Chains A and B, each alone.
Chain A
Amino acid sequence: MYRAAVPGPVQSIERAAAILRLLAARSGRLGLVEISASLDLAKGTVHGILRTLQSVGFVEQDPTSGKYQLGAALLHLGSSYLDVNELRARALNWSDALAARTGEAVRVGTSMDSRVLIVHHVFRPDESLQTLEVGNLLPAHACALGKVLLAYGPAPTRAQASQPLEGFTRVTVVDRRALTQELGRVREQGWSQEVEEWQPGEAAVAAPIRAYGGLAVGAIEVRGAVERLCDYHRQPKTEHVTRVREAARAISRELGAARW
């Protein structure tokens, strides 16, 4: 495929923006014909763009008149993308299944003020005494969930990037450059790991939960003792990695990340 050295503007995104502006400018609803005429575009082209915008919630179609208007998702663009309680409800079945299959504890987290908010926690199924950790906030750089959220989330602001990274054990990643490198690896392989970087003796593997468009809205991890979760080289066992990624994919499908 030919690629220009400096990619130019993407035509369909420009057209989508024009459609959104047009819908925002008119108080009432607009039909396909009106939109095509206003922008001097073929009806087929406009229809394709409208359907895409509709699928991400930026445009809504009135079921009776068939006319289009701005969608609710667009109005809430600035606020939280996915309700955390909704995330938990959607993750419930698959995190249960993950805990059952691995025999380990499972947690789901999302980003909150550059830390990780635990939104769901399934106990390790061994009847031992455990406390619910929902609502806890964790330092992102020191845990598997956080590394996924950092790797797939927005780049840190300059202020954030100048903050020193706190060490919790001898192996917590406290060097910015080392962290950046690790996040690159996370993006490459599609999952993250944490081996005694937060709590001695504990390890975790996490993978991203995505919503439509592929946006990472959370992460799911499996967590347990290093000797159970890792092999002799202190690397997470492949079966755990596979299962976490499968669970993450299943939840993502529920959230509408169709082709992921």
Chain B
Amino acid sequence: MVSERFVMAVDQGTTSSRCLVFDHRGRMVAVSQREHRQYYPRPGWVEHDAMEIWRNVAKLIQHAARDAGLQASDIVGLGIANQRETTVVWDRRTGEPVGRAIVWQDTRTADLVNELARAGGANRFRSLCGLPLATYFAGPKIRWLLNETPGLRERAERGEVLFGTMETWLIWNLTGGPDGGRHVTDVTNASRTMLLNLKTLDWDLSLCEAMGIPTRMLPEVRPSIEVYGEARAVMPGLRITAALGDQQAALFGQTCFAPGEAKCTYGTGSFLLLNTGKEISHSNHGLITTPAYQIGGEAPTYALEGSIAITGSLVQWFRDGLGLISSAPEIETLARTVEDNGGCYIVPAFSGLFAPHWRSEARGVIVGLTSYITKGHLARAVLEATGWQTREVVDAMNADSGVALTTLKVDGGMTSDHLLMQFLADVLDVPVVRPLVAETVSVGAAYAAGLAVGYWADLDVLRRNWHRASQWLPAMDPRHREIEYENWQRAVERTLDWVRQPDQVQGRRARPDQ
């Protein structure tokens, strides 16, 4: 054991952060986790305290290392996977954020996005950055901060404040913070800003200008897999050797290294990613184009992504907002108290609808309510919403790639819900497979970190670590599936056009201060 070395991963997620330690065979040897506070200051606004997240991650690294009995020299590298798009802007001299981080689910930039779309349509930047204009991405969030925070634009132009998504914020703090911390991002995270040119993999000046963002505040764009630097805080000497957006990390952890391989991760939201190889492929069905990973010194690998904003967070809302269950796994228990959804459907368009619709003005609905409906039916409808939303992006992906998906590799916390996994297999009509390590985001970050320093020789070694842990086979009557899918689609139609533009509002005067 003395000579054995390990690799560490930090998964900085939307609701919690965790730190895991893996051995050479990709087996978890330690895990520590901590939730952070969600701030909902107004409807549609979601914020995090970046300082709280940094403090949590620092503690988690120390805890995980202590639990596994490790020192910095026993760890070959740290890989960071993170919630994407969540935007932090901070003072480079004090290290203090200028305000709370704006979370990816936040919709405050809706007006800004509409305004940008008026001149050229929602897809005006798509050929450059692969993304439709949406509140989801970091660029509009930076712009909002620059517009709304007095003096911030001037400070940004003078180079006094820095922008980063979570991996940038963590790497900067780990490598010294105000005292020489490295201000870097990786291509996968950078691609979620709407400012990155997909071909050059660098900031696109025309995009930055159109979005009104000074390039001085942007981090340096680097490959996902390379040595970024050594930690000077928390665990001095620990090398930071990889960074990936969490969904790309999960794709990597599922060892989807070949074109045509896909996975779906079930967390706060759910994200289906399909490896499309070295080619940039554009979607005609509402998917987005994104780098999958880039190994230092190599050409990038790309992916098509179907992003679903609300899946696990619908269960959380059911728990915290409605108080109908006391822990998330209990949703399955409650759902099993009834045979079916009783005719009730929930479309959780809380932040508008993401893929394949991209309708930011949509808002959630519960339809089909009758006095027959119990909380058990609602619990079913909550789980089914995740199944049908997946069906929609799988349909889009099949249409774009011209090849039908034959199995779905799944991961994430919700894979412990067997009712949901069976429902997924039923509505997709393909086997659903969970790999042996459900923490695929962390596994992917660890694989990437180990690969960067030669701990693992190549991708094939990693592929041999993948094992099937569970499998669910489709068992739903095809006719029933069709009827239910139609009902779902009718429910989705009812979410559209809910939020009106100020000029559409009649019957009351538009308030001058809005």
Contact = CB atoms under 8 A, between A and B. Distances in A.
Interface string A74-110: 0000000001111011001100110111000000000
Nearest to B327: A86
Interface string A100-123: 110000000000000000001111
Nearest to B438: A92
Contacts of B472: 132
Nearest to B335: A85
Contacts of A135: 418
A135 B332 CA distance: 13
Nearest to B472: A132
Contacts of B26: 100
B469 A122 contact: yes
Contact of A93 (B31, B329, B331, B417): B31
Contacts of A97: 27-29
A113 B347 CA distance: 38
A132 B471 contact: yes
B438 A96 contact: yes
Given A85-B416, A85-B417, A122 B436 contact: yes
Contact of B333 (A85, A99, A126, A130): A85
Most buried by B among A96, A120, A134: A96
| Interface SS, B side | mixed
A69 to B, nearest CB: 16
B468 A127 contact: yes
Contacts of B328: 89
B436 A100 contact: yes
Interface residues of A, number: 25
B437 interface: yes
A123 B468 contact: yes
Contacts of A86: 327, 329-330
B95 interface: no
A130 B433 CA distance: 12
Interface string A126-158: 110010101100000000000000000000000
A200 interface: no
A85 B335 CA distance: 11
Contacts of A132: 418, 470-472
Most buried by A among B25, B26, B436, B438: B436
B413 interface: yes
A123 B468 CA distance: 7
A96 B332 CA distance: 21
Contacts of A100: 25-28, 436-437, 467
Contacts of B284: none
Contacts of B417: 85
B332 A85 contact: yes
A86 B330 CA distance: 6
B15 interface: no
A93 B438 contact: yes
A125 interface: yes
A97 B25 CA distance: 11
Contacts of A130: 471
A72 interface: yes
A28 B509 CA distance: 47
- Chain B interface residue number, banded: 20 to 34
Contacts of A85: 329-333, 416-417
Contacts of A96: 28, 436-438, 469
Contacts of B470: 121-123, 132
B147 interface: no
B204 interface: no
Nearest to A106: B469
A127 B467 contact: yes
Contacts of B329: 83, 85-86, 88-89
Contacts of B27: 97, 100-101
B286 to A, nearest CB: 32
A120 B328 CA distance: 17
A123 B469 contact: yes
Contacts of A84: 333
Nearest to A250: B31
A134 B471 CA distance: 11
A86 B470 CA distance: 18
Interface in B316-375: 326-333
A72 B31 contact: no
Contact of A89 (B29, B31, B416, B469): B416
A221 B326 CA distance: 28
A132 B437 CA distance: 17
Interface in B142-193: none
A216 B443 CA distance: 31
A92 B416 contact: yes
Interface string B284-327: 00000000000000000000000000000000000000000011
Nearest to B442: A93
Contacts of A93: 28, 31, 438-439
A135 B418 CA distance: 10
Interface in B448-485: 467-472
Interface string B25-43: 1111101000000000000
B327 A99 contact: no
A218 B333 CA distance: 17
A100 B467 CA distance: 9
B419 to A, nearest CB: 9
Contacts of B469: 96, 99, 122-123, 125
A65 B114 CA distance: 46
A97 B28 CA distance: 6
Most buried by B among A120, A123, A127: A123
A132 to B, nearest CB: 6
Contacts of B415: 92
B191 to A, nearest CB: 30
A135 B472 CA distance: 13
Nearest to A105: B469
B196 to A, nearest CB: 34
A83 B468 CA distance: 26
The 9 A-B pairs with the shortest beta carbon distances in the complex, nearest first, are A125-B467, A85-B329, A89-B329, A85-B332, A86-B329, A89-B416, A100-B27, A122-B469, A92-B416
Given A83-B330, A89-B328, A100-B25, 14 more contacts: A85-B331, A85-B332, A86-B329, A88-B329, A88-B418, A89-B329, A96-B469, A97-B28, A99-B436, A123-B436, A123-B471, A125-B436, A125-B469, A134-B418
Interface of B: 25-29, 31, 326-333, 413, 415-418, 436-439, 467-472
26 contacts: A83-B327, A83-B330, A85-B329, A85-B416, A86-B330, A88-B418, A92-B415, A92-B416, A93-B31, A93-B439, A96-B436, A96-B437, A99-B436, A100-B28, A100-B467, A120-B416, A122-B469, A122-B470, A123-B471, A125-B436, A125-B468, A125-B469, A126-B467, A132-B418, A134-B418, A135-B418
